Structure 1
Amino acid sequence: MSLINVMHLTFGYDGSYDNIFENVSFQIDTDWKLGFTGRNGRGKTTFLNLLLGKYEYNGTISASVNFEYFPFKVTNPEDNTIEIIENIYPDYVLWQVMRELSLLQVSEDVLYRPFHTLSNGEQTKVLLATLFLKENSFLLIDEPTNHLDMNARKLVSDYLRSKRGYILVSHDRAFLDNCVDHILSINKTNIEIQKGNFSSWWENKTMQDNFELAENEKLQRDIERLSSAAKRTSDWSDKVEKTKLGTRDSGLRPDTGYIGHKSAKMMKRAKSIEARQQAAIENKSKLLHNIESSERLKISQVNFHADRLVEFENVSIVYGEKVACESVSFSIEQGDRVALYGKNGSGKSSLIKLICGENINYTGTFRKASQLKISYVSQDTSHLRGNLTDYARDNDIDESIFKANLRKLDFSRVQFEKDMSDFSGGQKKKVLIARSLCEKAHLHIWDEPLNFIDVISRMQIEELLLEFSPTILFVEHDSEFCKNIATKIFEL
């Protein structure tokens, strides 16, 4: 066991308005299985890069271990997999490689196949196996689940649970719950570490948020009450002070000593109330710093004139000699939230392309209601570039509603000035989802929409789908999301 000490860490990118980290201090035990969470753009990958020594920073990071980052860059994917492993870790021992692959249920024949012929899931597992060959290193695992189907996620999560000594960046709640024993969270104003898994951290955060909201409401009432009391006391003091002058008509001479004493007492009381009011305001300023904004999103879906929107009867799709899927039969009715399950390569994307109107050869019967308007969110975000204003205009959506949804998904106003190509992976997916929410469609089709998207935003999207019950077909490997949202499940 050893410690990674982070002391007074301050860092910001050149030309940025604000620092990402400001005077941050904490310790990490190198035996921990540490889940790393926080909203998109908060600096999770940046922090991993700071550990790797890629950027200059103020403060200190001290550790007696080496750091290894996942995913590795594969420069020659045409090479056999065993050569890829050797390039990453020249000191590998073959039996150890085979042991790790066995734990991940990958057959050893992949070692002697070109790396690019492996599925995305197989590639991820091979690289993870190679990562855990590197003993005496603290491992930085950055979003390993994005190319894994649901079964593979469970397998990899079980694999990680048997290991120790890593930071794991993931937004999949079930995945984190299964394999971490501590949570490192980047909040709005600080970084904190808690023992436990994601669910216990979220429960503690919710309790703290609710406590702060209740305290905030109580202090708000106190401030209003004290403000009114201070004003009344100050008014009384002024009135009493004026009586010291007496009135010319009466010819009476008031006891100015007594009145002055009484006025001073009232003024002192007003000052005391004002001090208590200021203390209440200062207490209030300590609250609500880390309560995440998660306002309700809105969707522009419109009802269709028919109940049945899409129907498949014994549909098979074949590319050359490769069967993408066969004998598919299911339908999408208005109000359905259909989860399309299946291993990678089972034909999910082919079915989606067929519904969206691409020219796909198929056999069987496929029916799509005429004049059906579809809003599609693809897996790919590489085409996003330019500014958000032009993007809204090009897609014929309301710019103000589009940007309002992005604000609710934790976009800062600074982001609105940037080129989309500079956005993080999660921010790019949010652009696609926010655009889709603005489109007046009868059916939404989302293909792995949650890749890279932070947990709180996932929960916001869940709340939206449960509140408005739009008709949607989606492919998603986040088991918690599917369990909460799907009204129908079709598995290929």
Structure 2
Amino acid sequence: MNIHFFGLSKNYKDKMVLENIQGKINKEDKIGLVGANGIGKSTLAKIIARKENYDRGEIKYSPAQIKVLYVEQYPVFEQNVSVYNEILQVTAKNSHLTQKEAPIVVKKLLKQVGLEEEKWQQKAINLSGGEKTKLSLAKAMVSDFDFLILDEPTNHLDLESYNWLEEYVLKLSKPMLIISHDRYFLDKVANKIWELTSKGLKEYEGNYSIYQREKEAQEKHLAKEYEKQQAKIQQLEEVIDERKGWYKKAHKDAGQNDFYRSKAKKHASVLKAKKRELERLKNNKVEKPERSPSPAFEVINKAIRDKKLPTFLIQGYNLTKSYGQKVIFNNISFNIKRGDKIALLGKNGVGKTTLLKIICGLEEDFQGRVTINPGVKLGYFAQELDNLQGELSILENVLSTETTRNEARLLLASLLFRGDSVFKKVSQLSMGERGRVAFAKLILSGANLLILDELTNYMDIESQEKIESVLEEFTGTVFFVSHDRYFIKKLAN
């Protein structure tokens, strides 16, 4: 089987989302689709899945009746159908199981994806975001398809469900297209990467790390070619200016003198040749590589530079937390030391966010004791991003009494908010962009110990890399919750 598309273009309200996109999917492909937020990844996936029309171009399916299953990033379920029945209906429709066998398979599958029995009779529409993702993945497992598209499948998954999904994808013998910002996942499962940019769709063989190395090598080569061409253009322009001067002088001296007339013609001929060469170079111009501003190290570490902190910053003693009769965690103790970058891992629902809130003083109903050194200034990044004011601009949101506008703009530029974009209202931003604003605000708050709850959720890969660059430069202490294994591996010490 294969799917071949070429010249695909799509407009939304006069805005060109996709233009002249081409690519081919073969039966052995497990493709990771990457690109900036809003570039059109989901639109392309929906077009391939026959869920959205396109304005121009062509798609050829071979065979024509290929069944494409698209698992959405934000799944929608029927109004009054339970979690259990959502799966049972699909299982009954697409399998040869008997009425006795089907419920056994459904129960096993729900447990595999991390939906415990207490959830089975709930309405599917009332599940949390992570639980809806798990349910939509479970439905895919029992569906009939030839080609599978997963749109951000690892969002909100805990580690156990994440590992299960990874194993399923690796074992699946059917072609797939996976839209993801999770680099670790793409490293494990993808054998090809598609990068979608405003210039089109580019294919790279191999997993995410191979793609990244190849892209970096191409960018370095392009930078050298650009510098070489710029030097050649400058040299030609200087030669042309020089020859113009010589030609004018020879032409002036020529009069009736054959020698000077010959000399003037020679200069004119060379001048024309050099102008043609310059024109050819400019017509085949190497584009200037885009360079991100270097991380604002001094701004990032402004609050830490003059602080002398002891070894132990935060200590927790015998912490216990319950909601009613349900114990979330029991009798835990810990130390957070100066310079630590600690990842807090665990399944969904075990109390990771609750522990962060206890440390930050946002949750007071618990047993045990937390001591925080007086020199510590905490900065808390919450998943909800509720510390931003939508009617204010990006710049207005991040400015503090301790920060100059220049410092704020320097940090914002290192987080991809450049030029006039800092004056956009936060209410106009995507969730990933809001996350970057909230993070910038945190860094500029003067905090020397950062508490981060799922910082990279909703962010595209370029945003994640910029966040990582800032945190790698940050010389303070970080205590963070994340399901992004690439991020964990890069940051945690």
Interval of TM-score (by shorter of Structure 1 and Structure 2): 0.7 to 0.9
Query: Which residue of 2 is the match for residue 37 of structure 1?
Result: 34
Partner secondary structure for residue 20 of structure 1: strand
Query: Which residue of 1 is the match for residue 93 of structure 2?
Result: 91
- Using a 3 Å threshold, how does the CA distance of structure 1 residues 28 and 110 change in structure 2: closer, same or farther? farther
For the pair 1:114 / 2:122, whether they are aligned, the reply is yes
Contact 1:67 1:137 in 2 (8 A): yes
Contact 1:389 1:399 in 2 (8 A): no
Aligned partners of 1:146, 1:425: CA distance in 2, in Å? 13
Query: Which residue of 2 is the match for residue 389 of structure 1?
Result: 393
Contact 1:300 1:438 in 2 (8 A): no
- What are the superposed Cα offsets for residues 198-241 of structure 1, whole Å, 9 maximum, x if unpaired? 12211211111111111112112212222222222221222222
- What are the superposed Cα offsets for residues 455-489 of structure 1, whole Å, 9 maximum, x if unpaired? 232222222222232322111122222122112xx
Contact 1:121 1:152 in 2 (8 A): no
Aligned partners of 2:111, 2:30: CA distance in 1, in Å? 18
Contact 1:33 1:166 in 2 (8 A): yes
Query: Which residue of 1 is the match for residue 190 of structure 2?
Result: 180
The gaps in structure 1 that reach 5 residues or longer are: 246-254, 488-492
**What is the aligned counterpart of 1:127 among 136, 156, 166?**
136
Query: Which residue of 2 is the match for residue 258 of structure 1?
Result: 259
**What is the aligned counterpart of 1:342 among 336, 343, 346?**
346
| Partner AA of 2:309 in structure 1 | A
Name which of structure 1's ranges 99-108 and 275-284 shifts more when overlaid on structure 2: 99-108
Aligned partners of 2:415, 2:149: CA distance in 1, in Å? 26
Task: Let me know the Cα RMSD of the aligned residues.
Answer: 3.2
Query: Which residue of 1 is the match for residue 453 of structure 2?
Result: 447
1:277-288 aligned within 5 A: 277-286=278-287, 288=289
Q: What TM-score do the two structures reach when normalised by structure 1? A: 0.85
Contact 1:150 1:479 in 2 (8 A): no
- What are the superposed Cα offsets for residues 91-141 of structure 1, whole Å, 9 maximum, x if unpaired? 144657549828946588578442569786555333212113222343221
Query: Which residue of 1 is the match for residue 2 of structure 2?
Result: 2
Aligned partners of 1:47, 1:401: CA distance in 2, in Å? 39
The gaps in structure 2 that reach 5 residues or longer are: none
- Using a 3 Å threshold, how does the CA distance of structure 1 residues 113 and 415 change in structure 2: closer, same or farther? farther
For the pair 1:25 / 2:18, whether they are aligned, the reply is no
Aligned partners of 2:328, 2:404: CA distance in 1, in Å? 38
Contact 2:451 2:479 in 1 (8 A): yes
Name which of structure 1's ranges 439-448 and 302-311 shifts more when overlaid on structure 2: 302-311
- Using a 3 Å threshold, how does the CA distance of structure 1 residues 412 and 141 change in structure 2: closer, same or farther? farther
Query: Which residue of 2 is the match for residue 14 of structure 1?
Result: 13
Aligned residues: 472
Task: Give 1:143 deviation, angstroms.
Answer: 0.8
Aligned partners of 2:384, 2:285: CA distance in 1, in Å? 44
Contact 2:37 2:432 in 1 (8 A): yes
Task: Give 1:359 deviation, angstroms.
Answer: 3.6
Task: Give 1:37 deviation, angstroms.
Answer: 0.6
Contact 1:40 1:454 in 2 (8 A): yes
* Identity between Structure 1 and Structure 2 (%): 28
1:186-225 aligned within 5 A: 186-225=196-235
Aligned partners of 2:491, 2:328: CA distance in 1, in Å? 26
Partner secondary structure for residue 463 of structure 1: helix
1:302-321 aligned within 5 A: 302-303=303-304, 304-307=307-310, 308-321=312-325
Task: Give 1:445 deviation, angstroms.
Answer: 1.6
Task: Give 1:35 deviation, angstroms.
Answer: 0.8
Partner secondary structure for residue 477 of structure 1: coil
For the pair 1:156 / 2:165, whether they are aligned, the reply is yes
**What is the aligned counterpart of 1:378 among 378, 382, 385?**
382
1:431-470 aligned within 5 A: 431-470=437-476
- Using a 3 Å threshold, how does the CA distance of structure 1 residues 14 and 412 change in structure 2: closer, same or farther? farther
Q: What TM-score do the two structures reach when normalised by structure 2? A: 0.84
Query: Which residue of 2 is the match for residue 73 of structure 1?
Result: 76
Aligned partners of 2:197, 2:362: CA distance in 1, in Å? 43
- Using a 3 Å threshold, how does the CA distance of structure 1 residues 212 and 15 change in structure 2: closer, same or farther? same
**What is the aligned counterpart of 1:430 among 426, 432, 436?**
436
- What are the superposed Cα offsets for residues 21-80 of structure 1, whole Å, 9 maximum, x if unpaired? 22222222355211111122222122223334435523233433343332331244x743
Contact 2:393 2:426 in 1 (8 A): no
- Using a 3 Å threshold, how does the CA distance of structure 1 residues 294 and 452 change in structure 2: closer, same or farther? farther
- Using a 3 Å threshold, how does the CA distance of structure 1 residues 13 and 90 change in structure 2: closer, same or farther? farther
Aligned partners of 1:172, 1:387: CA distance in 2, in Å? 31
1:358-369 aligned within 5 A: 358-369=362-373
Query: Which residue of 2 is the match for residue 57 of structure 1?
Result: 55
| Partner AA of 1:358 in structure 2 | L
- Using a 3 Å threshold, how does the CA distance of structure 1 residues 152 and 14 change in structure 2: closer, same or farther? same
Contact 1:300 1:441 in 2 (8 A): no
Contact 2:84 2:106 in 1 (8 A): no
Task: Give 1:411 deviation, angstroms.
Answer: 4.9
Contact 2:130 2:155 in 1 (8 A): no
Contact 1:236 1:266 in 2 (8 A): yes
Contact 1:294 1:456 in 2 (8 A): no
Aligned partners of 2:88, 2:419: CA distance in 1, in Å? 46
- Using a 3 Å threshold, how does the CA distance of structure 1 residues 111 and 471 change in structure 2: closer, same or farther? closer
Query: Which residue of 2 is the match for residue 329 of structure 1?
Result: 333
Task: Give 1:191 deviation, angstroms.
Answer: 0.7
Task: Give 1:387 deviation, angstroms.
Answer: 4.6
| Partner AA of 2:435 in structure 1 | K
